[in-house]
Chains A and B, each alone.
Chain A
C-alpha cells in the first residue's frame, strides 16, 4: 500500500501530463485528448456512414457497408498497425504516432457508432418520416429537424458508452509509441523495474475511476431519457400554473384546464 502511495507521489506529473513541457504531452491528459478528439471527429463521420448505409442507392450503400463490416471484423490493434505503416506511404511523409492514433480511432469508432446511429434512426416509428414528408419536408430537412434530433437524443447513452470504450482503446496507442497513460505507466515501470504489480495496479485503478465516472453519468442520462419518453421529464413541468404530474407510464395525462 505504501508502495502505491510512494509511486503516485513520485510520478503523478508523469501520469497526469507525461513529459510535458519538456517532451510531448502524455499521461491521462493525452489519453483524454485522444478519446475526446477521436470521438468528436468520429461522430459526424458516423452519421454520414449511417445515412449512407440507409441510402436507397446501392453504389453508396455497398462500399460503406463493406467498410463498416471490415473495420468491425478486424482487431483494433491490426488497424493501428496498418494505419501506422500505410499512412506515411500514402502521404509520402512521416506521421506522428499521435496523428496516426487519431486517424485510426476516427475510422474505428465511426464504424461502430454508425451502427448505433443506424439503429437509432431505424428504431423511430415510420410515421415520423411520413408526417415530415407529408408536410412537405424533403429528405434533408426531415433528417435534420425531425429524424436525427430524436434518433441522436435516444442514442446518447450508447454514444457515451462508445466514448468509454474509446478511452480503453487508446491504450493500444502504446504499440506505436503514443505517449498516453499506459505509455507513462510503462516508463515508470522501466525506472523502478521491481514493482510492476504496483505500477500496473495504479494504471488499472486510474482507468477504472475515469471510466466508472463516465458509466455512472451514462446511466443517469439513460434514466432521464426513459423518464422523458414516458412523458414529462425534460419538458416544462408547470403549465398554466398547474403542476403536471410526472407521468408514471405511457398513459397520456388528461385535461388539466
Chain B
C-alpha cells in the first residue's frame, strides 16, 4: 500500500531521511517510533507530500506520490485518498463539527448535503461524539477534537490512514479515548501508519514496529520481538530509557 524505496531528504546539510526503504502492506498497522528528531514525522509527512523528497520513490497504492510530473489535480486526488491526522488536530475553527466533516466529501466528491450529513453522523457516532455535531471546535476538549479530526479524515473513505503523533498534544486522561478509536479502526482492517510514543498501543495493536534514529530505519520487527528482544543497540537504549521512567 505504501512503499518507500531509497527515499532521501535533506534540510540544508542535515540528512533528514537517509535511504529509507520499507513497506506498509494493505491492512497492516505500522507504528513508527524513535527518539525525537529521528525523522518519524518527516517520514510520515512525505507520504501525502506535505514534505518533498530529494531522491528515491514513494508509491501509495501504486501511484508515485513524489513524482515531479504529478499535476496538482493528480496530487489532490491522491491526498484525498490518504487520511491524515495531525498532532494539533487542525480542525477548521469557523465550521461546526458536522461541517468540518461534510465539507470535503461535498466539495471534493460532490456528495449531496443530505447524504454527507448522514454519513458524518454515522462517523460521529462511531467516534462517540454524535451529541457534538452542532458544537464548534473551540468548545471541545483536545481528545474530542482529535476524534472529530479522525472522523473528518474517514469521511473521505481513504484506503489508508496516517497518524502523526495523534495523542502527543493531549492531556493524559484524554489519550485513551483517541487510542480506542484508532484501535477500532485497526480491528476493522484499516491500513495504518502511526507515529506515536504510546508503546502500549504499539505492543497491542501494531503488526510491525519501525524504529528510527537520525533519519534511518534501524529496525523493523513484530512488536513482541521488538519490545522483548530489540536487535539494534540504539533501539535497546531507547527502550531502556523509556522503561526507566
Contact = CB atoms under 8 A, between A and B. Distances in A.
A150 interface: yes
Candidate in A131, A134, A229, A240 with the most chain B CB atoms within 10 angstroms: A134
B72 A127 contact: no
B156 A135 contact: yes
A142 to B, nearest CB: 10
A138 interface: yes
B210 interface: no
Nearest to A240: B131
A253 interface: yes
A130 B131 contact: no
B9 interface: no
A145 B103 contact: yes
Interface string A72-94: 00000000000000000000000
Contact of B90 (A128, A138, A150, A235): A128
Interface in B109-142: 131-132, 134-136, 138-142
B52 to A, nearest CB: 13
B10 interface: no
A135 B139 contact: no
B132 A134 contact: no
Interface string A191-225: 00000000000000000000000000000000000
Contact of B77 (A136, A145, A247): A136
B88 A253 contact: no
Interface string A125-168: 10110111111111101000110011001000000000000000
A246 B104 CA distance: 29
B229 interface: no
A125 B88 CA distance: 10
Contact of B135 (A136, A137, A228, A239): A239
A21 interface: no
Candidate in B78, B90, B134, B141 with the most chain A CB atoms within 10 angstroms: B90
A231 to B, nearest CB: 3
B224 interface: no
Contacts of A232: 138-139
A139 B104 contact: no
A141 B77 CA distance: 13
Interface of B: 48, 50, 72-73, 76-82, 84, 86, 88, 90-94, 96, 103-104, 107-108, 131-132, 134-136, 138-142, 144-145, 152-153, 156
